[in-house]
Amino acid sequence: MRRKLLAVAVPPLAVCRYGCASRCAAPIGVFWVTGIVSMIYAFYGGPTGVETLSWGTFGLGIALWTIAVVWALDTIRGVDQDQADPGCTHHNSNLCSIVRPRGHDSDPFDEVRKLKNS
């Protein structure tokens, strides 16, 4: 429950703490901060400079925040699935279904050593 609440409130922090910070925290942070800036800018009339709240700009901010939250929750769930099945035996993870290990691939360093010793 704490992970979901943190992902809704501060998505980049949730990804840094419970997820894959090296891959996803920066873009999630960009969406989140842009959503906040868009919502604040909406109170100042938005890009059209209206005297009241710019609902289109406010809606854009909500949409960007929602994208950041969904992305953070998906990242946290993917990391949990990867940790539950580290050998990718059940293929429950998105990463396991995309990247499958191949036993017939040769080691690139063996190829270099063969060329060097020839």
Calculate the alpha carbon distances from 48 to 38, 39, 53, 54, 59 in Å.
Answer: 13, 14, 11, 8, 15
Of 94, 82, 70, the closest CA to residue 11 belongs to 70
What pTM was computed for the model?
Answer: 0.69
Q: What is the pLDDT of residue 41?
A: 96
Of 61, 72, 93, 65, the closest CA to residue 24 belongs to 72
pLDDT digits (tens, 9 = 90+) for 62-112: 999 999 999 999 888 877 766 666 555 655 555 544 445 555 666 777 777
Domain chopping of the chain, boundaries: 2-117
